[in-house]
Amino acid sequence: MVKENIGTEVRDFRPYFAGEIFLDEKKRFYGPRQRKMGLLAFIRLGVWRNGLRAFRNGFPGNVYGEGFVLGAVYVIRAGQQGIALEHREMEFGDKVNILAVLRAVKSSPVELMEK
């Protein structure tokens, strides 16, 4: 689920994700209260560290779009099985633990559909 589609960001992400990508233009997925960090975020040492780490790893970022909403990563199971993993950014650049994502995905039962 993405909140905006700026330039080629979604298209550039497709090689890394084979599933559907949904655009939530009205930002309803983000709930009645969006989690944001204002301009004061730029005085936080962790934000600067995360930005420097991203830049050094080849992710220069951009200054387009709505940049103050904090992101999240969810692994959601099919049907009524619920959420297997939830990671909410506490400050810009928080990274989800990739091993935790892989464990959550692998622990989710897969239903085979007959064609």
Structure pTM? 0.64
Q: What is the pLDDT of residue 112?
A: 47
Distance CA 42, CA 79 (A): 40
Is 23 inside a domain boundary? yes
User: What average pLDDT does this structure show over 58-66?
Assistant: 69
Task: Let me know whether 46 and 95 are in one domain.
Answer: yes
What pLDDT is recorded for position 111?
60
Distance set, CA 26 to CA 34, 73, 78 (Å): 12, 19, 24
CB 109 within 8 A of CB 80: no
Residue with tokens 């951009």: 62
Confidence at 115, pLDDT banded by 50, 70, 90: very low
Looking at the domain assignment, is residue 112 inside a domain? Answer: no
Q: Do both 60 and 103 map to the same domain? A: yes
- Looking at the structure, do residues 50 and 91 belong to the same domain, yes or no? yes
Q: What string of H, E and C letters represents the secondary structure of 31-70?
A: CCCCCECCHHHHHCHHHHHHHHHHHHCCCCCCCCCCCCEC
pLDDT tens figures, 77-95: 888 888 899 988 877 778 8
Give me the domain span that covers residue 91: 35-107
Cα R_g (the chain), whole angstroms: 16
Of the ranges 25-29, 32-36, 97-101, the best mean pLDDT one? 97-101
**Same domain? 55 vs 1:** no
Asked whether the predicted pLDDT for residue 32 surpasses 70, the reply is no
